[in-house]
Amino acid sequence: MTTVLFVEASSGGVVGGSLTGLYHLIRGLDRGRFQVGMALYERKPIEADLARLEVPVHQVVRRRLPKQHALLDLEGYRKARSLSAVRAGLGAGRQAARLAAEELPAALGLARVIRRVRPDVIHLGNGVRANFDGILAGLLTRTPIVCHVKGFEKYGARERWAVRRTTTLVCMTQAILAYCRERGLQPPDARVVYDAVDEAWLRPQRAPAEVRRELGIAPDAPCVGIAGNIQEWKGQQVVVEALGRLGAGPPVHCIIAGGVHRAGEAYAASLRARVAALGLTGRVHEIGFRADIPDVMNAWDVVVHASVRPEPFGRVILEGMLLGKPVIATAGGGVPELIDDGRTGFIVPPGDVAALADRIEAVFAAPDAARAIGVRAQSWARQQFSLARQVEEMSQIYEEAARMHRT
């Protein structure tokens, strides 16, 4: 039996793709081979789901230094920051402060959890930079470290130092692995393991018409949806702007599903104001975080992914494909590894309102072709991104790391 402690250090009061991905992975692990636990850095709504899987949750306290401070309002400070030498010094000072006030205390707290649980392996779910304290905790307890990179992070000398102390670096896409190598990360072992979605979890429990009735949308009204935490880089406003540009035809409704990240409150307010300014208040439905997201997504005709920055993976894309929906997604990052443009979905340039509006119109103008895309996408996703494949690949990584630890 191999014991794995998953560490998910995200904050912001929402459940993001990194934690959702770990949850699906845990659902698929063979409990005859693995005993699992989870360490979180804040309370999360998903804890009830973990409890049903009999996964113990350990809370680790990490203080967060404020990103905003009074000096930012001083013109002299802003001018000084424009000088590269001053900016570098301030960056080094902030990094030292973060190490002393945030990362070292969190590392010591996590090390206490590790010594209590005594895992064979720790799985850090947020990458090298965000899990720097987790790498320190693994070194303090001499526990093998599987570090899961799920984003395009900023890397410096300390990240290059830290990654050499891991056991295995797992990258969610080939794009992420290439990015890490280009920036000088040299782990002892690096692999690409695509995330997956447990189709048993994704199976809708309610009819689309019932969900639409709850949301105030007619059963035959064209409807697109975007799921993800409400933050500027996720591109919800791009979808709203595209909706405002649609031409003649039945009015298209849009569902925005996802919680508001603490860093996205101002953006959420501006998004609502823009919806009102475009006269879309009755057609754009912001529904917040939904535990029944499979039911909600299944009520959409089209799934839209609109990130304006390169998306490392795009879990929502995979969920839409597995539900048999045509997906329109923005190019960049790992997205082209998920979608064969024109065959299993559609790709548009990030932030391009006109291109997104044109693609939405084209999909609704050819419903039979859209349905065929959805069918092909579902088959493709099942073949290439199955949970069984991800679970077996990760299981081998855990057991190899545990054997190294035991010897």
82 within some domain = no
As to burial, measured by CB atoms within 10 angstroms (0-12 exposed, 13-18 middle, 19+ buried), residue 27 is middle
What angle is formed at CA 376 by the lines to CA 337 and CA 332, rounded to 5 degrees? 25
Question: Which run of H or E residues covers position 373?
Answer: helix 367-384
Same structural domain for residues 155 and 185?
A: yes
State the 10-residue block means of pLDDT for the chain, 407 residues long: 93 76 92 95 88 94 65 55 57 68 90 96 94 95 95 91 96 95 95 90 93 94 94 94 88 93 86 94 92 94 95 91 96 91 95 96 94 95 91 96 78
Give dist(CA 267, CA 188) in Å, integer. 41
Q: Tokens 């570098």 appear where?
A: 88
79 within some domain = no
Q: Collapsing DSSP states into helix, strand and coil, what is residue 192? A: strand
Structure tokens at 264: 């996205």
Give dist(CA 341, CA 203) in Å, integer. 26
Same structural domain for residues 51 and 146?
A: yes
Same structural domain for residues 186 and 291?
A: no
Same structural domain for residues 310 and 355?
A: yes
pLDDT at 249: 78
Q: What type of residue sits at position 27?
A: R
One DSSP character per residue, 256-276 reads: EE--B-GGGHHHHHHHHHHHH
Same structural domain for residues 142 and 173?
A: yes
Residue 344 to residues 52, 198, 305, 331, 372, Cα–Cα distance (Å): 35, 20, 14, 14, 9
Give dist(CA 272, CA 93) in Å, integer. 38
Give dist(CA 387, CA 383) in Å, integer. 10
Q: Tokens 């990360």 appear where?
A: 185
Same structural domain for residues 49 and 187?
A: yes
Same structural domain for residues 153 and 208?
A: no
User: Helices 236-245 & 265-277, crossing angle to 10 degrees?
Assistant: 0
123 within some domain = yes
Same structural domain for residues 143 and 270?
A: no
Structure tokens at 79: 């001018």
What angle is formed at CA 38 by the lines to CA 323 and CA 131, rounded to 5 degrees? 95
Adjacent-strand bridge partners of 39: 7, 58
pLDDT at 283: 94
198, 277 in Cβ contact below 8 A?
Answer: no
C-alpha 194: how far from chain center: 13
66 within some domain = yes
165 within some domain = yes
Residues 6 or more apart whose Cβ sits within 8 Å of residue 142: 405
pLDDT at 374: 95
178 within some domain = yes
Structure tokens at 4: 């794995």
52 within some domain = yes
pLDDT at 158: 92
What helix, strand, coil percent values describe the chain, rounded to 5?
50, 15, 35
230, 236 in Cβ contact below 8 A?
Answer: yes
Same structural domain for residues 126 and 263?
A: no
Which CATH number does the domain housing residue 147 bear? 3.40.50.2000
Residue 165 is classified by DSSP as T
Same structural domain for residues 149 and 230?
A: no
Structure tokens at 116: 């209590």
199, 235 in Cβ contact below 8 A?
Answer: no
Number of structural domains (the chain) is: 2
Give the range of the structural domain holding residue 379, as residue numbers without chain letter. Answer: 199-384
Segments in 225-298 forming alpha helices (H): 236-245, 265-277, 293-298
Same structural domain for residues 173 and 101?
A: yes
Same structural domain for residues 372 and 241?
A: yes
Strands (E), 127-167: 145-149
